[in-house]
A and B are shown apart, each in its own frame.
Chain A
Amino acid sequence: MPSKEESLYEEYFGHGHITVIESSKGWRMLDLKELWAYRELLWVLTMRDVKVRYKQTVLGVTWAIIQPVMTMIIFTIIFGNLAKLPSDGYPYPIFVYAALVPWTFFANGISTSAGSVVGSANLVSKVYFPRLIIPLSSVGAGLVDLAIASVILLLMMIWYGVGWSVNLLAVPVLLVAVVFTALGVGTLLSALTVSYRDFRYVIPFLTQIWMYSTPVVYSADMVPEKWQWVLFLNPMAGLIDAFRSAFLGKPFDLTAIGMSFAISTVVFICGIAYFEKIERRFADII
């Protein structure tokens, strides 16, 4: 008797199954089973993005360390030393780096996935597979950089004498939330970029503005209490703040995290739904 795995494979790639091709109208449900059947392709495309990223560079994967570390140094000089922003009593470098690690992942994730479908025009117009795999693999490829940057962070924590606390256990959960937010925003932007190439030029500004409206270089506590709810309408604000709490061992702001999770979920659903809605027209308009 075939296993469930095999029968799923058979259903989508097998020799007996029947494909019906017809026009579909309106919103449609995401075919999770199909996506799962194509998981191998997701893996292959993700690995392709990872492998290609630092090909033919002298420093290779070292860039995954240099980029966030350089940003940290620059921010420390400008915001820590010159502007003297408060950093909740922690050394500014580690204060900002703890936020930069998830933020860089998020920002790179949305900007690479935004251009990913247009960048894969040759695939989209030549072969069928669930298009969602393209932005998914772009975000997925960023996880490798994130892992490398996190190792640096853990080492820095030892260097600065910030002990590893139990709060670190929350990191995987927070990471899932960040991944989902990045996927939601990334798929939405990638679908929009197919129809409106303007978004290519919007994204650099978008990520910058978004970063400054997220407590990356400053502390969430700097925002007056009664306006904090506005800050946390941005799902990344609560998540970045929570990441900082997890790494630095501060108490979590559970209201903020709850809000972020809720808004992230909404963003994720909207992004995927819009993508699925216009996915079938990609080959015609790309």
Chain B
Amino acid sequence: MKTATSAGTGAPTVIVSRSIENSTPAIRIESLGKEYIIGRRQSRQTFREMLVSVLGAPMQRLRRLRGKVDEEERFWALKEVSFEVQPGEVVGVIGRNGAGKSTLLKILCRITEPTTGRVKVRGRVASLLEVGTGFHPELTGRENIYLNGAILGMARTEIAGKFDDIVAFAEIERFLDTPVKRYSSGMYVRLAFAVAAHLESEVLLVDEVLAVGDAEFQRKCIGKMSDVAQSGRTVLFVSHNMAAVRRLCHRGIVIESGRVREDRNVESAIASYMSGVDSGMEGDIQPQVDGSRPQFARITLSSTAVNFGDTLIINAALVSPIEVSVAVEVEIHDEKGIPLIYTSTAPMGDALIEVSAGLEKNVRLAVGPLNLASGVYHMYFWLIKPGAEIFHVIREPIRFRIDLSDPEASGFDFKQSYGRGACYTSIRVIDIGEQ
């Protein structure tokens, strides 16, 4: 009998009681490493690029020849990663962007090979790295269910047996014979998630898929995920959504610069991760823009340290391939990752921001007054069409700090670390009497 670590929040302790002699781990990772060579690659992409670099920058080449810059810059995305996951465990993998989480998942589902070390996985592996992998826009919903299922490794009979469940889960009955290119992005994601979620496997690898779709569907996804988690399957769940990690996982692994920094129960792992991210306070984020949909091109805080009651000024650059009307939503979470504040530029869908095709729209936003305790906060940004579509979610938080929180100017500093909450509101004595 093996007992998995229990979460500190009173979540039930999971007893994994597979057959007694069968205590081999579901996943065993032994000093795994993945090295990428960066820098050299670009010069080999096309012959023309090579020509351009030869003709256009001879000086640079000369400098490079003289200075002997190491062209083969080596970069270890993962280094000496070792851990085991027992059958039935639900493990959250957390870490900043670029920490190596996705590389780890890519190795586990055999998309890329490790450079060193090895992994042993028992049973069938299903991965939800990106929903809708292999969907073909010209094919109908029905055809895509079979196509996607086959790509994920399901036998035709297996898909046929689950077909009705998939369709019902995705809520696309009426559009089953419509090409998916005519689907709304919500329908598309629902269908894609439904197919992947119905694949029966011992090991499930999930990467950030829950951050898509509308709120209703996200709830449904989390529900499905907890069903999976409770059904005794092994789950490795990568996310920036600490609330989801806390809810689904019992154990948390923090990955930092390609190494395992923390491996313990989920609460301590989240706390450790949150304290780790606080050390770097940039207040500036530049997501990769691929031009496929309306996106944030840049978000900058005018200041990352403010005081109680101040208003935070945010500069956001928006881009879009087509003309759209959008709204920006902001979430503020405390240092434990608990959501505290929600706000939107257009809660009722009015006063939308117009973004023209191909032009960068700069928006200045003022959030506040922030009646918050001193400490660190995480901000998340959503670019949406209210009630219709989510275009872009920044999952890597922007951090800011409340330096001083003295709401009543009485010399008292209200701190998050007191554990008494993070929001302050005034309280007044309006009547006093004696009997």
Counting CB contacts under 8 A, is A123 at the interface?
yes
Complex Cα–Cα for A21 and B105 (A): 12
CB distance from B115 to the nearest CB of A (A): 6
Counting CB contacts under 8 A, is A280 at the interface?
yes
Q: Are B156 and A20 in contact (CB under 8 A)?
A: no
B118's contact among A9, A17, A21, by CB below 8 Å, is which? A21
A48's contact among B113, B123, B136, by CB below 8 Å, is which? B136
CB distance from B300 to the nearest CB of A (A): 31
Given the known interface contacts A127-B111, A197-B45, A284-B112, the answer about A15 and B153 at a Cβ–Cβ threshold of 8 Å is no
B153's contact among A22, A23, A129, A197, by CB below 8 Å, is which? A129
Complex Cα–Cα for A215 and B21 (A): 68
Q: Could you say which residues of chain B place their CB within 8 Å of the CB of A165? A: none
CB distance from B14 to the nearest CB of A (A): 20
Listed stretches B144-152, B356-364, B389-397; interface member: B144-152
Counting CB contacts under 8 A, is A26 at the interface?
no
Mask, B381-412, CB within 8 Å of A = 1, is 00000000000000000000000000000000
Q: Are B202 and A15 in contact (CB under 8 A)?
A: yes
Q: Are A14 and B124 in contact (CB under 8 A)?
A: yes
Given the known interface contacts A51-B143, A126-B129, A285-B41, the answer about A22 and B123 at a Cβ–Cβ threshold of 8 Å is no
Complex Cα–Cα for A65 and B44 (A): 40
Task: Considering the complex, give the chain A residue whose CB is closest to the CB of B116.
Answer: A23
Q: Could you say which residues of chain B place their CB within 8 Å of the CB of A280? A: 112-113
Q: Could you say which residues of chain A place their CB within 8 Å of the CB of B41? A: 285
Q: Are A56 and B138 in contact (CB under 8 A)?
A: yes
Q: Are A9 and B121 in contact (CB under 8 A)?
A: no
Interface size on A, residues (CB 8 A): 39
Complex Cα–Cα for A123 and B113 (A): 16
Mask, A7-20, CB within 8 Å of B = 1, is 00100011111111
Q: Are B133 and A126 in contact (CB under 8 A)?
A: yes
Q: Could you say which residues of chain A place their CB within 8 Å of the CB of B298? A: none
Counting CB contacts under 8 A, is A64 at the interface?
no
Given the known interface contacts A41-B151, A129-B151, A283-B111, the answer about A122 and B122 at a Cβ–Cβ threshold of 8 Å is no
Task: Considering the complex, give the chain A residue whose CB is closest to the CB of B123.
Answer: A15
Complex Cα–Cα for A14 and B155 (A): 11
Counting CB contacts under 8 A, is A255 at the interface?
no
Counting CB contacts under 8 A, is B174 at the interface?
no
Interface size class for chain B?
Answer: 35 or more
Given the known interface contacts A13-B124, A128-B109, A285-B41, the answer about A22 and B114 at a Cβ–Cβ threshold of 8 Å is yes
Q: Could you say which residues of chain B place their CB within 8 Å of the CB of A285? A: 41
Counting CB contacts under 8 A, is A40 at the interface?
yes
CB distance from B165 to the nearest CB of A (A): 19
Complex Cα–Cα for A10 and B426 (A): 65
Complex Cα–Cα for A127 and B152 (A): 7
Mask, B129-171, CB within 8 Å of A = 1, is 1100110101100010011001111011000000000000000
Q: Are A17 and B123 in contact (CB under 8 A)?
A: yes
Tell me the residues in window 112-156 of chain A with beta carbons closer than 8 Å to chain B beta carbons. Answer: 122-129
Interface centre among A22, A45, A56, A280 (most CB of B within 10 A): A22
Q: Could you say which residues of chain B place their CB within 8 Å of the CB of A24? A: 113
Q: Are A22 and B124 in contact (CB under 8 A)?
A: no
Counting CB contacts under 8 A, is B117 at the interface?
yes
Given the known interface contacts A127-B129, A195-B44, the answer about A18 and B147 at a Cβ–Cβ threshold of 8 Å is no
Counting CB contacts under 8 A, is B107 at the interface?
yes
B122's contact among A16, A44, A55, by CB below 8 Å, is which? A16
Q: Could you say which residues of chain B place their CB within 8 Å of the CB of A17? A: 122-124
Q: Could you say which residues of chain B place their CB within 8 Å of the CB of A125? A: 111
Q: Are A40 and B112 in contact (CB under 8 A)?
A: no
CB distance from A106 to the nearest CB of B (A): 25
Task: Considering the complex, give the chain B residue whose CB is closest to the CB of A16.
Answer: B123
Counting CB contacts under 8 A, is B371 at the interface?
no
Q: Could you say which residues of chain B place their CB within 8 Å of the CB of A196? A: 44, 46-47
Task: Considering the complex, give the chain B residue whose CB is closest to the CB of A279.
Answer: B113
Q: Are B121 and A21 in contact (CB under 8 A)?
A: yes
CB distance from A61 to the nearest CB of B (A): 15
Question: Shortest 10 CB-CB distances between A and B: which pairs?
Answer: A22-B118, A128-B110, A44-B150, A21-B119, A126-B133, A283-B112, A55-B138, A19-B121, A283-B111, A41-B150
Binding site for A on B (CB under 8 A): 36, 41, 44-47, 106-125, 127, 129-130, 133-134, 136, 138-139, 143, 146-147, 150-153, 155-156, 179, 201-202
- Apart from A15-B201, A21-B119, A52-B139, 17 more pairs, CB < 8 Å: A20-B119, A21-B113, A22-B117, A22-B119, A40-B155, A44-B147, A45-B147, A48-B147, A122-B133, A122-B134, A127-B127, A127-B133, A128-B109, A128-B110, A283-B106, A283-B111, A284-B36
Binding site for B on A (CB under 8 A): 9, 13-24, 40-41, 44-45, 48, 51-52, 55-56, 122-129, 195-198, 280-281, 283-285
A-B contact pairs, 30 of them (CB 8 A): A14-B123, A14-B124, A15-B202, A17-B124, A19-B110, A19-B125, A21-B107, A21-B114, A21-B119, A23-B115, A40-B156, A41-B151, A41-B153, A45-B147, A48-B143, A51-B138, A51-B139, A56-B138, A122-B130, A122-B133, A123-B134, A126-B129, A126-B133, A127-B134, A127-B151, A128-B111, A129-B153, A196-B46, A196-B47, A285-B41
